[in-house]
Structures are given as structure tokens and as C-alpha cells.
Amino acid sequence: MASDRNKPCPCGSGRKTKRCCGVPATTAPARECGPCSACCTTLEVRALGKPGHVACPHLGDSGCSVYSERPGECRVYKCLWIQGKLRDDERPDLAGVIVDTYAKLQAVWGDAFMICEMDHDSMRTPPALAILTRLLATNAAVIVVTREGPRKFMTNDPAKRAKFAEIVERGTM
């Protein structure tokens, strides 16, 4: 609904939903990874042949050992926390999950997100559940990628659920 997009975003940023979660930030506070290396241990990096949930071979005690020469996909990657769309205490290494927009679904449904579990059952922790609850409150489409199981599609929007079931039935996702 268009009217929901004008309401304050449930993430607590104080911005309207349409100008916050799911929309590229233009004035988000600058953040740096700091001690977080969640993407280096959780996400797939095709350029390096690194599968998901495996530590990058270039990850050392003080971060990336090939930082200045790292692959392009690593250079451009910015999780929602880095973009300023999650609270300070929801940094991936603290929350146990990495949250990002899901471009493949955004083309179909608008607001769409992927939550990647870092460790077994970290999706069940209070910070991860709080993030999921806030995203679902916006009627966004959310794909949850657990460490051991298949991807799970979640939304509070009945039309999106029906469309997803149709896509799965056709086998196009």
C-alpha cells in the first residue's frame, strides 16, 4: 500500500518507509566494518571460488590480507548495516545474521530482503528475530537462508505469498 510507505519505517531510523529499508540510502551515516568480518565468513565469493559459510582464505586476524586487491564483488558489497539501515547493535557479527536487499525479488515485489544466518540457529536469536519482525511489518518479501536448510520465503502480504507459490510451482526461482 502506498500509504504504508509514508509511515515511519519500523527499523527505527525515523525516516519514512519509502525512503529507508529497501531503498538505497542517500544520507545514511557512514559506517565501516570495524571488527565485523561476517561477509568474509558467510557469503559466497564467486571470483575466489569461495562457497558460502566458509571463511575466505584471505581473512586474517586484522581483516582482509588482500584488501587493496580484493575482488570487485567484495569492493562493492554493502550490507544493510553498513548502509545505515540497521541499528548499531545489529551489526552482522553481533546479530548473527547478514541482512541485504534481494535484487532478484525487488524487480517483482519492490521491498525484498535476504537474511543469511551466520551460524547454526543464529536466526533464532533475539536480534535476528527483531530484524525479521521489523522487515515483515513493512510487508516486504524476505528470503531467509539458514545454514543447514533450504531458503525460506516469508511475507505478511497475501498477494506476495500467492505470487511466490506460483513462481515455485512454475520452477522459475
Residues 88-136 have pLDDT tens digits of 999 999 999 999 988 777 777 778 899 999 998 899 999 999 999 999 9
**SS (HEC) of 59-101:** EECCEECCHHHCCHHHHHCCCCCCCCCCCHHHCHHHHCEEEEE
Model-level pTM?
0.75
| Per-residue pLDDT at 99 | 95
| Residue pair 72/48 in contact by the 8 Å Cβ criterion | no
Residue 25 has pLDDT above 60, yes or no: no
Which residue shows C-alpha cell 541499528? Answer: 87
What pLDDT score was predicted for residue 1?
A: 39
Close Cβ partners of 5 (under 8 Å, ≥ 6 residues apart): 16, 17, 18
At 21, is the secondary structure helix, strand, or coil? coil
Query: How buried is residue 133: exposed, middle or buried, by Cβ count under 10 Å (0-12/13-18/19+)?
Result: exposed
What integer pLDDT is reported at residue 62 of this predicted model? 82
Whether the predicted pLDDT of 161 surpasses 50: yes
Query: pLDDT of 31-83, one tens digit each?
Result: 888 889 999 999 999 999 999 899 999 998 888 899 889 888 898 889 999 99
